[in-house]
């Protein structure tokens, strides 16, 4: 009888791991955080430079209703809010959330299949969203310009 009970427990534990991943926990993020895997914001960020940097494939950022804001004025060196590097293929930036006052709200540099969903980009200095293809110079950037 003991063997049977141990086998059931082992199968139940294995099924729990296979059935799905645990829900993401809110992580304490700071300005300039390099997101390694998954991040669920638990507070607003007001940053002097980039708020978040995505480097790893399949990284997921959930803004969770929070705001990322630049502390610099447009004429004083505001940077991009979220920088998605070329190595972050398949990254996801999920709202709801607000990004404002950055030179570019989100900058995607040479990374494929990046998903941005339900994110409001407001009061950007130049561009809300900048997408630069792999190996291309900045002049060939496709971007959504700020409404005036």
Question: What pTM did the predictor assign?
Answer: 0.74
Residue 16 within any structural domain of the chain: no
Among 68, 67, 64, 37, residue whose Cα is nearest residue 51 = 68
Asked if residue 9 is part of any domain, the answer here is: no
Structural domain for 85, as ranges = 23-145
Taking only the tens of pLDDT, the chain with its 148 residues reads 444 444 333 333 333 333 344 445 444 799 999 998 999 999 999 999 999 999 999 999 999 999 999 999 887 777 899 999 999 999 999 999 999 999 999 999 988 899 999 999 999 888 889 888 766 544 334 445 444 4
Based on its alpha-carbon atoms, the radius of gyration of the chain, rounded to whole angstroms, reads 19
Count the domains in the chain.
1
- 14 domain residue, yes or no: no
Give a yes or no: residue 18 inside a domain: no
In a domain, 141, yes or no: yes
The reply to whether 11 falls in a domain is no
Pick the closest to residue 39 from 50, 53, 25, 56 (CA basis). Answer: 25
Q: What is the pLDDT of residue 91?
A: 97
* 3-state SS assignment for residue 10: helix
- For residue 4, being part of any structural domain is answered with no
């Amino acid at each position: 009888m003991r063997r049977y009970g141990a086998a059931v427990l082992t199968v139940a534990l294995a099924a729990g791991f296979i059935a799905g991943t645990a829900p993401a926990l809110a992580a304490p993020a700071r300005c300039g955080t390099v997101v390694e895997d998954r991040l669920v914001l638990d507070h607003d960020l007001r940053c002097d430079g980039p708020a978040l940097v995505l480097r790893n494939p399949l990284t997921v950022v959930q803004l969770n209703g929070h705001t990322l804001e630049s502390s610099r004025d447009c004429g004083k060196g505001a940077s991009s809010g979220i920088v998605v590097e070329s190595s972050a293929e398949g990254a996801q930036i999920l709202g709801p959330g607000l990004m404002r006052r950055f030179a570019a709200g989100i900058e995607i540099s040479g990374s494929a299949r990046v998903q941005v969903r339900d994110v409001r980009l407001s009061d950007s200095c130049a561009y809300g969203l900048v997408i630069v293809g792999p190996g291309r110079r900045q002049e060939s950037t496709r971007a959504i310009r700020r409404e005036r």
